Structure 1
Amino acid sequence: MKLLIVGSGGREHALAWKLAQSKDVDKLYALPGNAGIGRIAERVPGSVMDIKAIADFAEKQSIDLTVIGPESPLIIGIVDEFERRGLPVFGPNKEAAQMEGSKVFAKRLMLDNGIPTGGCEVFDDPAKAQDYIESIAAKTTDPIVVKADGEAAGKGVFVAATKADALQAVDTIMTQRAFGASGDRLVIEEYLDGQEASFMFFADGETFVPMTPAQDYKRAYDNDGGLNTGGMGCYSPVPALPTELQTTVIDTIVRPTLKALKSKGIHYKGVLYCGLALTSKGPKVIEFNARFGDPETQVVLPLLETDLAEICLATAAGKLDRVPVNWYDKKAVCVVMASGGYPGDYEKGKIITGIEKAEQAGSIVFHAGTETKDGQIVTSGGRVLGVTAVGTSYRDCIDTAYAGVNAISFDNAHFRRDIGARLL
């Protein structure tokens, strides 16, 4: 069986790593992939946004299943292009991907159907948004949450501690247009207090199956300082989201959400990612994503016992109910190594050493922003590597992951030193 993975990040390396373990997979392609993915899959040059060219490749090579990693091609309709041609594909179509592609769409769906989430207001005029911030800042000391409506690579959400920060967020999104058309509208919403968790589900349009939950670290610096990032580390499972609370999430959030989508004629297929706040009043939705989380995938897939290729094929075919999905009774921790300056400006092309040493010490090193140049692995993105460890205790995982991180070096490397600290 031949599979194609679309994407080039740590999530896609984790997908490739897991799919390569399937007894049924003979050949893996990755478009465009990265230096790490290139060790286990044949890299195909191209852009993840060139959906016709990707479908052409899948058709020409008789690919048995294409797995879409990032959100951007999903939001512009890559799955629709594949389905039009009768090509097997894993991921939600354009209509379903609005769950991530439009904060406004997702919020309205939740509020209209009584799905627990924070209250919000929507604005397409920066002056009105700023007036609203002035009015609510006088009534609350809670942070103010400002979100670009559209997809912004995890960087379009601002949790503003002060009124000035909230006003600046509106300016960044709507006036400076830092996220382009994704900032044509914005959402100002109620701050949800409590620990956060990422709870992902396989969904085939009728059946859905939970994955083991994860908790990620979005802020750039230790003790949750600095700007929001795509994620600086994570762990799984999540003690703050035990089995009984997972059942609550399924009953009050996931099942009603998929039912509400179905009532609109949208049969959600692929991965539904629920970003949750575990508040004193119960779990509430912060956001939905239409794909595997990054870096959550780097801790969730190592804990998956069932063949991932089998799950993805069954999901794409609407036969998920035929595959029992099982998990190892273990823990996993991932520490992200980023380029200095991330999530702001950073330099590329820094030589990376020590990856083999980290792997020999027991870590799984997932590549994100890496390339091969003159026989060496160099940095090519903001998040460079995800160093994952699997074990029977969080303590062992944390120690092994950080031993791996300390074995690796590249100029101006940055990582958080507190991933998993709250577990100890």
Structure 2
Amino acid sequence: MRILVIDQIGLSLDFIMRCKDCGHEVRAWFAPREDGKRNDIADGFVTKVSDWRAAMGWADLIVLTDNSSLMKELAPYHKKGYPIFGPNAAGAELELNRQKGQDVFKRAGIKVMDSVEFNDYDKAKDYVQRNMLRYVSKPNGDVDKALSYVSKSPRDMVLMLDRWKVENPQNQGFILQQFRAGVEMAVGGWFGPKGWGKHFLENFEFKKLMPGDSGPNTGEQGTVMRYTEKSKLADKLLLPLTAHLHSIDYRGYFDMAAIIDEDGVPWPLEATSRPGWPCRIIQDALHVGDPAQWMLDLLHGEDTLEVLDEIAVGVVISIPDYPFTKYTGRDTTGYPVYGTERLATEDIHLCEVKMGQAPNERDGKIVYEKMPVTAGDYVCIATGTDYSVTGAQMRAKRAIKKIEIPNSPGWRDDIGERLKAQIPELQDMGYADGWKY
């Protein structure tokens, strides 16, 4: 199969390598770096194209990695029936315009929390001071994670709004939702012309940089996930959206995160109408067989995806100054990723990496060899699978020990641990059926 990957965010390398290992011919387009320079992620691993439009007719399958850009440019290709697996403009709007998403959920019969959209920090501050409640802030889109904030009280919400007014005056809009206590859980599924595939992905994200859910919010520092054919959360959040997703011709992965309160009511937090990262990479640790054929089949209305009946734990491995490199400007390229010379492995998934030269030890001597080296600060994902969270966590930690990266690599060593208390709590309310800690 001829596969074209259109990568707006630079995280498709592992998928590309797995496709090539299965004999597929892959070409890839990577968006330029933020400074406008050429993106060197995946150099030496895949044939790159400078113009994705020129390669559209060549491909049997076109895979998109994100919805943050190119949705308007890709719309004519969606309309003409090109074999595109991934988000479209109407689907992206559910995520990038959070208030629009909440309105769609409400019309589908899903209970939603009251929320108010703002573009003006002063108006948001007045709103908080007038109501004196605890709020959660979420930006439109997934670009500026700094605007995602769970306040402890009205005073720190006002403080953050004051700071954002100075630090990020040109915001794309954000919403304030009243804080609701509970357990956060998400569920996603693969959607095609005949609706949902039979496998739903229940998952738990660990969003903070440091153990104990402390430090800055990186969006997703690690994730625990499991496929199931029966999901109470999917019944309540995904199935009601079936008609809407059909109406917008959505194709690909769609995910909903929610807070489940003490009464067992799931309150939607946000939709992810695209592959989530590193979620999408960790999913491949649970997929059986060809990494791409099932995608093409789903576009044709066939559900052929096969998955392991296990739990997967995925852990992000990064190097300094992650997640602040774009502000500090530190050069993070050229550090060897020792232990990945065999390239695609079952449990180490390369991300911002390219092929380069680095010193290695052979027969008691230092020689320079061709090997994977860093092309950014988000280096790779380590995964482990097992029938329990603790077993999968142990295997992921074992995978981490296989590799060596100079420059003080970092990762969280507690991904999954909070589920020891949360899984029994959820199961008492009928959720997380089949999960074992």
TM-score scaled to structure 1, two decimals?
A: 0.81
Distance 1:373 1:71, change over 3 A: same
**Secondary structure, aligned partner of 1:77:** helix
Change (3 A) 1:17 1:287: farther
1:55 paired to 2:37: no
After TM superposition, give the deviation of residue 202 of structure 1 in Å: 1.0
Task: For 1:334 and 1:358, locate their aligned partners in 2 and report how far apart those are by CA, in whole Å.
Answer: 20
Native 8 Å contact 1:389 1:397 kept in 2: yes
Alignment partner of 2:125 out of 126, 130, 153:
130
Corresponding position: 1:270 with 2:259: no
Deviation at 1:237?
2.0
Aligned residue number for residue 225 of structure 1? 214
Structure 2 distance, partners of 1:404, 1:109, is 41
Is contact 2:351–2:381 with CA below 8 Å preserved after alignment? yes
Structure 1: distance between partners of 2:269 and 2:65: 21
- TM-aligned CA distance change 1:249 to 1:11, over 3 Å: farther
Q: C-alpha offsets along residues 70-97 of structure 1, whole Å, 9 cap, x if unaligned?
A: 22235x3353142355532112321222
Match of 1:279 among 242, 250, 261: 261
Pick closer, same or farther for the CA change 1:250–1:227 going to 2, 3 Å: same
**1:342-381 mapped onto 2 (5 Å cutoff):** 342-345=322-325, 347=330, 348-349=332-333, 351-356=335-340, 364-374=347-357, 375=370, 377-381=372-376
Instruction: Tell whether the 8 Å contact from 2:11 to 2:352 is kept in structure 1 after alignment.
Output: no
Please, which of 168, 171, 174 is the counterpart of residue 177 of structure 1? 168
Q: Are 1:256 and 2:240 an aligned pair?
A: yes
Contact kept, 8 Å, 1:366 with 1:385, in 2: the verdict is: yes
User: Once the 2 structures are TM-superposed, how far is the Cα of residue 324 of structure 1 from its aligned partner?
Assistant: 4.0
The offset of 1:386, in angstroms, is: 0.7
Matches for 1:266-415 after TM superposition, within 5 Å: 266-280=248-262, 281-305=264-288, 307-317=290-300, 319=301, 322-345=302-325, 347=330, 348-349=332-333, 351-356=335-340, 364-374=347-357, 375=370, 377-406=372-401, 407-415=403-411
Tell me how far 1:391 sits from its aligned partner. Answer: 3.4
For residue 218 of structure 1, report the CA deviation from its aligned partner: 0.5
Cα distance between partner residues in 2 of 1:13 and 1:30: 9
The match for 1:49 is: none
Distance across 1 between alignment mates of 2:384 and 2:40:
20
Q: Name the CA distance, whole Å, in 2 between partners of 1:125 and 1:420.
A: 37
Q: Distance in 2 between matches of 1:21 and 1:284?
A: 41
Q: Tell me how large the CA RMSD over aligned residues is.
A: 3.1
Distance 1:365 1:35 in 2: 20
Question: Which range moved further: 207-216 or 282-291?
Answer: 207-216
Question: How is 1:37-48 mapped onto 2 (pairs within 5 angstroms)?
Answer: 42-46=46-50
Contact 2:62 2:85 in 1 (8 A): yes
Tell me which amino acid in the other structure corresponds to 1:158.
Answer: Y
Q: Which has the higher helix share?
A: 1
Matches within 5 A, 1:159-178: 159-171=150-162, 173=164, 176-177=167-168
Q: Work out whether residues 200 and 212 of structure 1, in 8 Å CA contact, stay in contact via their aligned partners in 2.
A: yes
Partner amino acid, structure 2, of 1:160: S
1:236 to 225, 228, 231: 225
Cα gap change, 1:308/1:379 in structure 2, threshold over 3 Å: closer, same or farther? closer
CA distance in 2, matches of 1:258, 1:155: 32
CA contact (8 A) 2:86 2:275 kept: no
Letter in 1 for 2:217: N
What are the residue-to-residue correspondences of 1:176-195 with 2, within 5 Å? Answer: 176-177=167-168, 180=170, 183-195=171-183
SS in 1 for 2:59: coil
Q: How many percent identity over aligned positions?
A: 19
**Rounded Cα–Cα distance in structure 2 between residues aligned with 1:416 and 1:151:** 22
Q: What SS does the aligned partner of 2:323 have?
A: coil
TM-score normalised to the size of structure 2? 0.79
Q: Are the counterparts in 2 of residues 146 and 159 from structure 1 also a CA contact under 8 Å?
A: yes
Query: How many Å separate the matches in 2 of 1:78 and 1:151?
Result: 19
Q: Which has the higher strand share?
A: 2
Larger Rg: 2
Amino acid at match of 1:291: R
- Cα offsets for 1:175-214 (capped at 9, x unmatched): 5337x4xx24220012243332332211124411243322
- SS for the counterpart of 1:97 is helix
Q: Does 1:208 align with 2:206?
A: no
CA contact (8 A) 1:363 1:401 kept: no
- Kindly state the Cα deviation for residue 357 of structure 1 after the two structures are TM-superposed: 8.2
CA distance in 2, matches of 1:365, 1:8: 22
Partner Cα separation in structure 2 for residue 35 and residue 391 of structure 1: 35
Change (3 A) 1:413 1:149: same
Equivalent residue letter for 2:48: V
**For structure 1, which segment, 224-233 or 377-386, has the greater mean C-alpha deviation from structure 2 after superposition?**
377-386
Q: Call closer, same or farther: CA 1:404–1:326 in 2, change over 3 Å.
A: closer
Q: CA offsets, 1:374-395, max 9 Å, x none?
A: 4454433342211112334433
Decide which of 26, 43, 53 is 2:24's aligned counterpart: 26
Deviates more, 1:25-34 or 1:394-403: 25-34
